[in-house]
Chain A
Amino acid sequence: MSASAVHSLWTTAATAAEPISKIDAPKIEYAQLSPTLIVIGAAVVGVLVEAFVPRKSRYYTQVFVAVVALAAAFSAVVALAASGYGTTKAHIAAMGAIAVDGPALFLQGTILLAGILGVFTFAERRLDPEAHGNRVDAFAAQASSVPGSDSEKAAVKAGFTTTEVFPLLLFAISGMLVFPSANDLLTLFVALEVFSLPLYLLCAVARRKRLMSQEAAVKYFLLGAFASAFTLFGIALLYGYAGSMSYATIAHVVDGTVTNVDPALAGTMGNDVLLLMGMALVVMGLLFKVGAVPFHMWTPDVYQGAPTPVTGFMAAATKVAAFGALLRLLYVVLPGMRWDWRPVMWAVAIVTMLGGAIVAITQTDIKRLLAYSSIAHAGFILAGVIATSPDGVSSVLFYLGAYSFVTIGAFAVVTLVRDAGGEATHLSKWAGLGRRSPLVAAVFAVFLLAFAGIPLTSGFAGKFAVFRAAAEGGAGALVVVGVISSAIAAFFYIRVIVLMFFSEPKPEGPTVAVPSPLTMTAIAAGVVVTLVLGVAPQYFLNLANQAGVFVR
């Protein structure tokens, strides 16, 4: 396009004296977007609650608003799926910005369930000893006060609590709902930031060990912002390559099936440097969010430093949302480039599986151990992504659903084992836990076995589905590496179980706090889902199979 023609884009209206034609109002399908809209609305209500509701009743109001909103959003997802939006009526809503299809609805449902369990663990107030007669939760009395200062003591004495965590959680969930269903690159980027920014803040507000918590938040924030800057530059390059942000248009340009090529597009679409660099940078940003090696450096520190309920929620839901977005990007936008991205993803999956499993062996902190285990799991899920087949999509969906419940349950158990300094996360303190409180140790053992992928747990069904899809997709070598790293990973899971059941408890060991029904519900839901998906996975595999088709 010539320079004068480009200038005419914004000069004709001024020179020609014609009245400016009215802009057509965009057509928004509110009913189909209702899950996201409900959660965003509830988050805004939560902010208003902070401003207007008296401090005494804020906690109850916030928990009520959050649980009701998430349950309503989940029933909206179920209603949409039941009326066929996951299969036959799948289409693109909101002027091309959001896809309403099977994978989007499946992942939104998973995120919302993880969110409800997350609210339960956030709302737990019986684990910490009462401070000045007030029940306290895992979050700082006042996040702005310096740890150990007079202002903090005053805040604790006055019975302040950071109830802002509930609206922050809801904002994060709303971003996560949009992320796997984003259908253009701008929506992808905005959703990425909307779910990341609240998580950075949530990491910083632990009641105990706040210096570590703040350190985790700074590390997460700086590295996360760094990664999202790379994502944005990749988006700019892809936009430059295709002249559009829409997934469908970019896919057409990549495949060379685009109609009406104007001279500018003809100039850029031949430029593979733009496409390859843009693809690499965007995928890199998503791999950062899923915590794949070599973009995993933040994971152990953030998982260890963040308040444990936040870690549990973040570990489960972020992974679901980010893998959803990665799947859609690779399967909808860049299937034409699969001979370029598959070898790279092979390498990433192999180093992720092996790296996560091997480094986990040397860990002595239970939260860091679970962090490295989550890295290894990211590698297993990537094996399913590489399959590039419908089975690949459905196995990844199933794995994400199974994994998120195990993760939330496992971190909820970690919050129960406590000593005078708060949670006793050092592994040596877990010695003999099985003798002191057999039930908690048994529940944790179930979660560890599910992580390890032992039969009759959801972990086995998920791993089997993912590896089968990968093998059928021609990635047999990857499956071999996956099985080897599963065996390495099983070693340290079993080691923890042995430590809990077959070693003598120490005299000054930690105590196991009795939680309120909230945390009990979260843990029980984790155990039930783990066992049900392990014993009878067929129904849910079918569900994931039906949901496994992207709309374009």
Chain B
Amino acid sequence: MNPVNYLYLSALLFTIGATGVLIRRNAIVVFMCIELMLNACNLAFVVFSRMHGNLDGQIIAFFTMVVAAAEVVVGLAIIVSLFRSRHSASVDDASLMKL
């Protein structure tokens, strides 16, 4: 199968993730959409690795996974602390500072 099709799939997943970030209201779901975007990047890396016949892209995919895991740790810590003080994880409720 033509690897380019997987690139279209990766672009589609990335777009779904980006759309989710923009329209969802729960911080956790927004965060999951960001993770979906990172995984779409991983798919693109692996496809390009296959197309170019070198392993760089596969190595980067591992780095991305580690970075995503670190981001989960930090992100959940922040979101959970916000939830505990406000009893809501909605990104709309957090609006103390406005223009």
A interface with B by C-beta (< 8 Å): 1, 5-6, 9, 143-144, 146-147, 186, 189-190, 193, 197, 200-201, 204, 210-212, 214-219, 221-222, 225-226, 229-230, 232-233, 235-237, 239-240, 243-245, 262, 264-265, 267-268, 300-301, 304-305
Q: How far is the CA of A47 from the CA of B94 in the complex (A)?
A: 31
A240/B48 contact (C-beta < 8 A), A215-B97, A216-B97 known: yes
Interface centre among B7, B10, B30, B60 (most CB of A within 10 A): B60
Q: How far is the CA of A200 from the CA of B20 in the complex (A)?
A: 22
Contact with A along B70-96 (1 / 0, CB 8 A): 110011011101101110000100111
SS class, residues of chain A in contact with chain B: helix
> Are the C-beta atoms of B82 and A237 separated by less than 8 Å?
no
Q: How far is the CA of A232 from the CA of B71 in the complex (A)?
A: 14
22 examples of A-B residue contacts, CB within 8 angstroms = A9-B54, A186-B60, A189-B67, A190-B67, A193-B67, A210-B85, A211-B96, A212-B96, A214-B78, A216-B97, A219-B94, A221-B74, A222-B30, A222-B34, A226-B34, A229-B34, A229-B41, A235-B60, A239-B48, A244-B56, A265-B52, A301-B97
B24-66 residues at the A interface, CB under 8 angstroms: 27, 30-31, 34, 37-38, 40-41, 44-45, 47-48, 50-57, 59-60, 63-64
Interface centre among A237, A240, A304, A305 (most CB of B within 10 A): A240
> Are the C-beta atoms of A146 and B97 separated by less than 8 Å?
no
Taking CB atoms, residues of chain A closer than 8 Å to B48 are: 236, 239-240, 243, 268
A264/B96 contact (C-beta < 8 A), A214-B78, A236-B41, A239-B60 known: no
Q: How far is the CA of A239 from the CA of B42 in the complex (A)?
A: 12
Taking CB atoms, residues of chain A closer than 8 Å to B96 are: 211-212, 215, 305
> Are the C-beta atoms of B77 and A240 separated by less than 8 Å?
no
> Are the C-beta atoms of B84 and A146 separated by less than 8 Å?
yes
B interface with A by C-beta (< 8 Å): 7, 10, 14, 17-18, 21, 27, 30-31, 34, 37-38, 40-41, 44-45, 47-48, 50-57, 59-60, 63-64, 67, 70-71, 74-75, 77-79, 81-82, 84-86, 91, 94-97, 99
Taking CB atoms, residues of chain A closer than 8 Å to B79 are: 218, 221
Pick from B31, B50, B78: contact of A6, CB below 8 A.
B50
Taking CB atoms, residues of chain B closer than 8 Å to A189 are: 63-64, 67
> Are the C-beta atoms of A264 and B82 separated by less than 8 Å?
no
Taking CB atoms, residues of chain A closer than 8 Å to B99 are: 300
Taking CB atoms, residues of chain B closer than 8 Å to A230 are: 18, 37
Pick from B52, B78, B84, B85: contact of A221, CB below 8 A.
B78
Q: How far is the CA of A243 from the CA of B50 in the complex (A)?
A: 10
Give the shortest distance, in Å, between A348 (CB) and chain B (any CB). 20
Interface centre among A204, A211, A233 (most CB of B within 10 A): A233
Q: How far is the CA of A190 from the CA of B60 in the complex (A)?
A: 10
- Chain B residue at minimum C-beta to C-beta distance from A198: B74
> Are the C-beta atoms of B31 and A5 separated by less than 8 Å?
no
Give the shortest distance, in Å, between A354 (CB) and chain B (any CB). 17
Interface centre among B30, B31, B86, B96 (most CB of A within 10 A): B96
> Are the C-beta atoms of A197 and B71 separated by less than 8 Å?
yes
Give the shortest distance, in Å, between B53 (CB) and chain A (any CB). 4
